Structure formats: structure tokens, C-alpha cells
Structure 1
């Protein structure tokens, strides 16, 4: 709907919310010096939508980076002793774990891969990347990053 100036008309939204959620909104509102609860909810919704947009773009880059890193590791020699490459590998793996909802802990991932006999105890992150791709590569490839309907995928 549009008003007389041609702009979309502001609409009222009625919703039920738990006491804990309301308390969290109020705490955020006061911490950020927002005048009204309604304005706090509008701002939080805006932030959430913007976060989603950024998250989905970053997730796509992260997953592709893992595959690129696996190719680099396979073509390189002695990557297990490269401290910087091990740190990048670990960071990308943790990001993928969180993005896929598999785990929040690198140590949990290592334990899972050890249980599956995909890595040996004490494996370096650069040795874990190929095992991760072997174990979860199909999930990374078969579950495309779902862009929400309000995000123009081509603009990312």
C-alpha cells in the first residue's frame, strides 16, 4: 500500500513475544539508548536482515576457500610445518563447522575425524582439511548456500 506521497505505507505488526525475549530487547534498547521499544525492534530486525545478507555471502566464499585450500595443500610440499597455513586452515575449518552447524569446536572436529580414521592423532590443520573435505565435501557441495528471498544473489 502507498500513501498520498507515493511511499509505502507504514504497517502495524502485532506479535507475541516471550518475557525473556522482551527483556533482551529492553536491555539492548537501554544499552543503545533507543527511545522506544518499537524502534528497538525495528532496528534489531534491520540488523538481523543485514547480518543474514553478509553471512550468506561470506559462507559462500568460505566454502569455496576450503576447496581452494585443499587444492593448494595437495599441490604443495611440507604444508604440515607451515605455521601460517596451518592457522588459515584451522580458521577456515572452524568457520565451515559453524556455518554448517556441525560443531563449534575444532577439537570436536578432530575427534570426529579421528574416530572415522580419516586423520591420525596430532594431525596438523593442513592435514585435516583434505579429511574434512572427504567427510563433509558432499555436504558443502550439495547444500548450496541458501540466499534468503530478500537478497539479490547477483549483487553479492
Structure 2
């Protein structure tokens, strides 16, 4: 996702580590995410990351791991212009329509233009997509089993 990411690996019965697995979004961002540690109960993780709203270049963030597993789906968002070129300077604001609260703000990976959203299935969201030089796009959608969300933006007419 970014320059440095957080990975996990398990110690198997044969005393070997399994292949590393990228923890993905929301733990990893398109920037550097480093120095991940767990508390002794493995219920809270801490990492250093550069994110919007931080106080400096690298801030310490906590990640809470729920005791009971909640089903989650990974959704990939791709935004193109009218001619089919991937847009990379895109921001998406996701608002949970049931809770009337912001679920998250997502920025496209500057190399691939891809954004990943992790959400419980069957949640109703309003997506507000912005990209400099293009008309904003707002739509309501229910994130279900379709894991690829593709949108096209129109250039602002001068």
C-alpha cells in the first residue's frame, strides 16, 4: 500500500514462520506505517504512522482488536476519468447513512489510484468522491458482495 507497511506471520507447529501477510487497510495507509507492537493480551496494537489530522510527521496510533469476530468485507474503489484513465489524486468520504456519521476518509494510492475500504456487509453509505479538476460525485450505495466499485468522473467545463 505505502512505502512501509505492517505485516503478520504466524509461528507454525514445525517451528517455522508462515509467509508474511500485509494487514492492509485501515492499519496500513499509502504513507509509511512502522513499528507495530501488541500489548500482552494481543487486544491492542500500537504503530507509528503519518496520517491526516496528526500532530507531527509520525504519530502513535492504537488499533483495537475485537474479542468477537465481526464479518468484514474488503472493497476496492477505482476512479477513472471519462476516457478511462485512472485518477490518482482522489479522495472519498464515506458516511454511514444509518448512524448519520462519517465512516472514513480514503485517499487513492498515488501509484495505482486504488482505495480499499473494509466494512461489514450490507451497510448503506453515501460516497462523496472528489478530485481536483473534476466534478464532485455523490451517490448512495449499499456495500454488499460486489467487492469492486468503479466510478467515472467528468472534467469541470471552463
Please indicate the TM-score interval, normalised by the length of the shorter structure: under 0.3
Q: 1 or 2, which has the higher helix percentage?
A: 1
Q: Which has the higher contact order (CA 8 A, sep 6+)?
A: 1
Please give the TM-score of this superposition, normalised by the length of structure 1: 0.21
Q: 1 or 2, which has the higher strand percentage?
A: 2
Please give the TM-score of this superposition, normalised by the length of structure 2: 0.21
Greater C-alpha Rg: 1
